[in-house]
Structure 1
Amino acid sequence: MKSLWIKLGIPALASTMFFASCTKDFAEINTNPDALVSVPPNNMLVNILRNTAESYGGDVDGYGTFAGYIVKIQYMDFMAGLIPTNNTYGNRWYNCYYNHTQIKDLLAKTEPNAAGFKNVRTISRVWQNYMWFLLTEGWRDVPYSEALKGMPTDGSIFLAKYDKQEDIYPAVMAELKVIADEMAAGYGTDDVGDFDIIYKGDMKMWQKFCNSLRLRMAMRISGVSASLAKTTIEEIAGDPVKYPLIESNAENCYVHFPGALPYLEPWYNAGIQGKRIDNWGLSDIFIDHMMATKDPRIAAIAQKTNDNTYRGYPNGEKSGPPSLRSISWIGEKYMSDAGGFVPFYKSCETYYILAEAALLGYNVGTTAADAYKKAVTLSMEEHDVAQADIDTYLAGAGAWDGTKERIWWDTWVALFKENAEAWSLYRRTGIPSTNYPSLNSIYGTAHNDQPWRAPYPNSEYQNNKVNVEAAASKVKDFVWGEQMWWDKRTGKY
């Protein structure tokens, strides 16, 4: 990660030159006696989790548009921003690797007393692998095996090669299994408490998230690595005591925000605090689907228009609607709560995955029909839908019909705001089948699909040119070209 070392190295060099010219007493005079010499591990953990939530939770019309949820209705999206920059997608790349450096430092600091810091180390290792998952989901091939090895003790590797997604996935899944087995054998005694802004130090919940992430990754590769997918899912489902999963909405992996400046939920911060709520509307395909299926979740997901209905807008129309309020804006549950949440895993996902696994013939201890109904119910309950309306939906357009498509369509609705995961659902399954790229894309008719990846950041082209260009050799127009390893759709370009 040469770009990171350059960012760190220039300030370090400048500091050395500055202090060399100062008096010998300068450091002593200017030392704050109340400042921490070294940041405590628990404080580092807070920063890592918060940084992830702000980076990925701050996405509204990037991955949210790719997934078919959200479109711009004021400053239209013609896909001109899908180029290498150090902003937007580049920031997300940088933040992931920044988190990795922080986790690596945390683990190094606590290594001499690993037993005394067992819980904070375990949480950090789970999140470390989640970061690798987010990176490869966003960019496919990324620096992995040689990343973070710039120090002489690590090999002085400043220009990290890019590993293939096919290699990263099994490696991350193997690491998560090691952690899952360790947690099954017992937790530590250190109290992480409120420094863990997701589960407040409840290690049982982290055990569930670890196994749920394994479940998600296994299903993702079920079409390209069937054996690994099947053995992983059956191992987890076959031993719920050793490998528990997230099964209720109270267990969802969410980062909740304090709700006071400067710690506001990202969508609220952008839309309400930043007064940009009218920049975005729900897409036509999303609203049309929920209206056609009479999906009661629409009341929480979308706001009604000025003529008291729900209406979406085309992605990349030439201009915005004459009246911004004639289009449904993002629902208040998701946009108007300063102390809202950023989702990383919802309990309904567990049952959608188990339903699909059952259809594939995996032994998961439940039927596809039962798992599907459980998933739908959990998603509906999260959106405060009454039981009578849940029953009506499950007896109507949402009725189980024995197909993967029924699972996937409902998963798509349920994943709203978990935009990165919904984008991956689309790339793996082709659902929503109505999805399409900007109508007025600067690429014209060269591509008939939403982006398949995020563009590599410009800093990589500046500082790791040979390796990033080798990785991008199969990429076309920055975000198309080679599909994800697990994306086996045809007819897309």
Structure 2
Amino acid sequence: MNNLIKKISIPVSLMALIISGCTKDFEKINTNPDALDHGPPLNILANVFRNTGQSFGGDVDGYGTFAGYIVKIQYMDYMSGLVPTNNTFGNRWYACYYNNTQLKDLLVKTESTAEGNKNVRFLARIWQNYMWSYLTDGWRDVPFTEAIKGTEAEGNILMAKYDKQEDIYPAILADLKKIADEMAEGFGTDEIGTGDVIYQDNSITLNEEMIRWQKFCNSLRLRLAMRISGVAPELARKTIEEIATQKDKYPVMETNEDNCYLRYPGAPPYYEPWYDSGIVGNRINNWSLSDIFIDHLLKTEDPRIASIAQKANDGEYRGYPNGAKSGPSSLTSVSWIGDMYMNKAAGSTPFYKSCETYYILAEAAMLGYNVGISAEDAYEKAVKLSMDDNGVSEKDVAAYLEGAGKFDQTKERIWWDMWVALFKENFESWSLYRRTGIPSTNYPSLNSIYGKEHNDQPWRLPYPNNEFLNNKANVEAAASKVKDFVWGEQMWWDKRTGKF
């Protein structure tokens, strides 16, 4: 043992030199030679799609409550009492910027091989714009032009300024048009494969897969253009007419096969988020459909009710008031969320339903835009797509379109039906409500701590605490227009009056 100790004994001065020398090359020595220095592009893409679905598709209430669909019936919390703070929905803010940071990294790493990664770059750029639209529709003014520019080459911008929503929207639409024009010139040859967890299907060709992404790009342009039709009518008209009158160049989503849905494998840990919360988490009895939603479906004899809702214990459909101080005496005395939406382990998170294309075209026709289809024909096409997506028979669709669902030449009829059709795409439905005021029967939480100070659902999401810690001056300037976390200044495109 003594000999061994002597053999490994090293003078302190020499040890200091060794440590000094190691420090210079510590990063090299401490690097795993078998590890990748960055994620492969397809892995990044798949991760971003998955993160988007789990971050934004997992809210059973939240936006579902804001849109007038879903209410809490036990464990009353923020949704029932409407007690917002700067911690509320902060993880959604983080997810948006995380996803766009990852996509930016993908684009930087493939820049030198752009032609060989043409398709994956198309998808990344489209999804970046989807994330930007989500951010601004959630928080209004957000860091945009200076966001995710923390490298030395970009100026080491760690405290990004906030851009106005009225400047962000035209920039998003311009970039989506640029992508759409490039896609119209031709796709790449690179396979997306498992990186595309939305449209990849062994039964379709690469060209068919990319056409579906091309359709999503142009359909997203339609959505955003219609959103600003009341505040930027010329940009809205130009965008929608360009797409609608040049379908060969700018194809849009027109069938349920085109639906932009993230479908889950249905095995742990990749369950559909509502199933994961309700069935796996044993919380299916946490939620009921709201009274205004069920009342509307019953009043209009809408056959989609059988997919959307479960019957109460007496065999009737019955909603529950939003924000009641306590739940019903019997949890089964009200309608829970339907099995199609809550009880499918391999279910899906919708990002864009093809029926939305035709609701938009119907409204555009009502506005006098040249879209190549009448408002009535577009409306009926939208209804049929939504009904088919909910498993409704042709006979019941026909009865609905002859009855309460008959087109009456008003934008309100389009919006009411669109509201029903967007169920589960709750964030988008919340935006529809803020823009149009439909459902007009919507009301704030009965149990709100603000009492009668506010007569509406939230207009926005609160800026997260981390912004006040790390970007204080910029966020405080933006938040100066915010009142009680989720009210104050309305969205740029929200021109409703009489709301406070």
TM range (shorter): over 0.9
Letter in structure 1 aligned against 2:384: T
User: 1:22 deviation in Å?
Assistant: 7.7
Letter in structure 2 aligned against 1:56: F
- Given that 2:422 and 2:429 are in contact with CA atoms closer than 8 Å, whether structure 1 keeps it comes out as yes
Aligned counterpart in structure 2 of residue 263 of structure 1, from 265, 270, 283: 270
User: 1:75 deviation in Å?
Assistant: 1.8
Partner of residue 462, structure 2? 455
Partner of residue 102, structure 1? 102
Partner of residue 191, structure 1? 191
1:38-65 per-position Cα deviation (integer Å, ceiling 9, x unaligned): 3110110000111001011011111110
Q: 1:29 and 1:168, CA in 2 relative to 1: closer, same or farther beyond 3 A?
A: closer
Q: Does 1:393 align with 2:395?
A: no
Q: 1:107 and 1:246, CA in 2 relative to 1: closer, same or farther beyond 3 A?
A: same
1:451-493 per-position Cα deviation (integer Å, ceiling 9, x unaligned): 0001111111111111111001111101001000010000000
Cα distance between partner residues in 1 of 2:432 and 2:39: 38
Cα distance between partner residues in 2 of 1:31 and 1:148: 26
Cα distance between partner residues in 2 of 1:91 and 1:27: 32
Partner of residue 144, structure 2? 144
Describe the SS at the equivalent of 2:315. Answer: coil
User: 1:299 deviation in Å?
Assistant: 0.4
Q: 1:441 and 1:27, CA in 2 relative to 1: closer, same or farther beyond 3 A?
A: same
Partner of residue 343, structure 1? 350
Aligned counterpart in structure 2 of residue 427 of structure 1, from 423, 434, 438: 434
Letter in structure 2 aligned against 1:393: Y
Partner of residue 85, structure 2? 83
Q: 1:332 and 1:154, CA in 2 relative to 1: closer, same or farther beyond 3 A?
A: same
Partner of residue 337, structure 2? 330
Cα distance between partner residues in 2 of 1:397 and 1:389: 12
Alignment of 1:66-465 (within 5 A): 66-76=66-76, 77-85=79-87, 88-200=88-200, 202-465=209-472
Cα distance between partner residues in 2 of 1:69 and 1:24: 60
Describe the SS at the equivalent of 2:110. Answer: helix
Return 5+ residue gaps in structure 1 as ranges.
1-18
Cα distance between partner residues in 1 of 2:25 and 2:115: 40
Q: 1:20 and 1:402, CA in 2 relative to 1: closer, same or farther beyond 3 A?
A: farther
Describe the SS at the equivalent of 2:262. Answer: strand
Cα distance between partner residues in 2 of 1:429 and 1:316: 23
User: 1:79 deviation in Å?
Assistant: 3.8
Backbone CA RMSD of aligned residues: 1.6
Cα distance between partner residues in 1 of 2:22 and 2:339: 56
Letter in structure 1 aligned against 2:196: D
Return 5+ residue gaps in structure 2 as ranges.
1-18, 201-205
1:264-306 per-position Cα deviation (integer Å, ceiling 9, x unaligned): 1111111111111111110000000000101000000001111
Q: 1:486 and 1:311, CA in 2 relative to 1: closer, same or farther beyond 3 A?
A: same
Partner of residue 5, structure 1? none
1:293-346 per-position Cα deviation (integer Å, ceiling 9, x unaligned): 010000000011111111000000011000111111111111111111000000
User: 1:184 deviation in Å?
Assistant: 0.2
Letter in structure 2 aligned against 1:458: N
User: 1:36 deviation in Å?
Assistant: 2.8
Q: 1:27 and 1:111, CA in 2 relative to 1: closer, same or farther beyond 3 A?
A: closer
Q: 1:147 and 1:26, CA in 2 relative to 1: closer, same or farther beyond 3 A?
A: closer
1:172-225 per-position Cα deviation (integer Å, ceiling 9, x unaligned): 000000000000000011000221011116110110000000000010000000
- Given that 2:294 and 2:318 are in contact with CA atoms closer than 8 Å, whether structure 1 keeps it comes out as yes
Cα distance between partner residues in 1 of 2:20 and 2:214: 50
Cα distance between partner residues in 1 of 2:166 and 2:23: 55
Q: 1:323 and 1:482, CA in 2 relative to 1: closer, same or farther beyond 3 A?
A: same
Cα distance between partner residues in 1 of 2:38 and 2:326: 53
Cα distance between partner residues in 2 of 1:74 and 1:214: 40
Partner of residue 9, structure 1? none
Cα distance between partner residues in 1 of 2:457 and 2:170: 27
- Given that 1:218 and 1:233 are in contact with CA atoms closer than 8 Å, whether structure 2 keeps it comes out as yes
Describe the SS at the equivalent of 1:116. Answer: helix
Partner of residue 14, structure 1? none
TM-score of the aligned structures, taking structure 1 as reference length: 0.94
1:10-52 per-position Cα deviation (integer Å, ceiling 9, x unaligned): xxxxxxxxx9998899878876555333311011000011100
Q: Does 1:482 align with 2:486?
A: no
Cα distance between partner residues in 1 of 2:85 and 2:150: 27
Describe the SS at the equivalent of 2:492. Answer: coil
- Given that 1:180 and 1:210 are in contact with CA atoms closer than 8 Å, whether structure 2 keeps it comes out as yes
1:341-391 per-position Cα deviation (integer Å, ceiling 9, x unaligned): 000000100000000000000000000000000000000000010000000
Cα distance between partner residues in 2 of 1:21 and 1:479: 55
- Given that 1:302 and 1:329 are in contact with CA atoms closer than 8 Å, whether structure 2 keeps it comes out as yes
TM-score of the aligned structures, taking structure 2 as reference length: 0.92
- Given that 2:71 and 2:80 are in contact with CA atoms closer than 8 Å, whether structure 1 keeps it comes out as no
Describe the SS at the equivalent of 1:313. Answer: coil
- Given that 2:149 and 2:156 are in contact with CA atoms closer than 8 Å, whether structure 1 keeps it comes out as yes
Cα distance between partner residues in 2 of 1:221 and 1:26: 54
Cα distance between partner residues in 1 of 2:362 and 2:90: 36
Cα distance between partner residues in 1 of 2:241 and 2:378: 15
Letter in structure 1 aligned against 2:248: V
Percentage of pairs with the same residue:
70
Cα distance between partner residues in 1 of 2:129 and 2:40: 22
1:405-432 per-position Cα deviation (integer Å, ceiling 9, x unaligned): 0000000000000001000000000000
- Given that 1:78 and 1:442 are in contact with CA atoms closer than 8 Å, whether structure 2 keeps it comes out as no
Describe the SS at the equivalent of 1:134. Answer: helix
Q: Would you say how many aligned residue pairs link Structure 1 and Structure 2?
A: 473
Moved more, 366-375 or 19-28: 19-28
Q: 1:309 and 1:155, CA in 2 relative to 1: closer, same or farther beyond 3 A?
A: same
Letter in structure 1 aligned against 2:52: T
Describe the SS at the equivalent of 1:342. Answer: strand
Q: 1:80 and 1:291, CA in 2 relative to 1: closer, same or farther beyond 3 A?
A: closer
Describe the SS at the equivalent of 2:302. Answer: coil
Letter in structure 2 aligned against 1:383: N
Q: 1:42 and 1:435, CA in 2 relative to 1: closer, same or farther beyond 3 A?
A: same
List structure 1 runs of 4+ shifted beyond 3 angstroms.
19-35, 77-81
- Given that 2:142 and 2:163 are in contact with CA atoms closer than 8 Å, whether structure 1 keeps it comes out as yes
